[in-house]
Amino acid sequence: VQLQASGGGLVQAGGSLRLSCAVSGRTVSRTLVGWFRQAPGKEREFVASIRWSGGSTAYADSVRGRFTISRDNAKNTVSLVMNSLKPEDTAVYYCAADSGTTIWSEAKNIMRYGYWGQGTQVTVSS
């Protein structure tokens, strides 16, 4: 599985951005695609994930209600719409996929994701 993230940029606090992840290669209906982020000096953390088939979603508490993850199976893309952005959302955002074997209760576990795209920088100014 190959992933390519795009859509980052600079935005003022309260603004919005849309990230896209192009997914190619072998995926199965149970494949999970997730977004993670890493701020300077911090560990990479879970943001949101979606099941390729069925569309089940999971969110980190810090973004729930502000971010929305969705997928377009026809275009093989997963999007992350980020609203009401805060300076603490500033980070490099990565999309990642698992091998299709992760049970849903493990969807937020970074260790379950073995395929990673390059990151895209999101900067939120105050």
- The pLDDT tens digits for 19-73 are 999 999 987 888 999 999 999 999 999 999 999 887 899 999 999 999 999 999 8
Which pLDDT tens digit goes with each residue over 81-100? 999 999 999 999 999 999 98
Instruction: Return d(Cα 90, Cα 11) in angstroms, integer.
Output: 10
| pLDDT for residue 73 | 85
Q: Tell me phi and psi for residue 106, to 5 degrees.
A: -105, 10
Residue type, 78: V
Stated as kind and residue range, the H or E segment containing 121 is strand 120-125
Residue for token pair 């977004």: 35
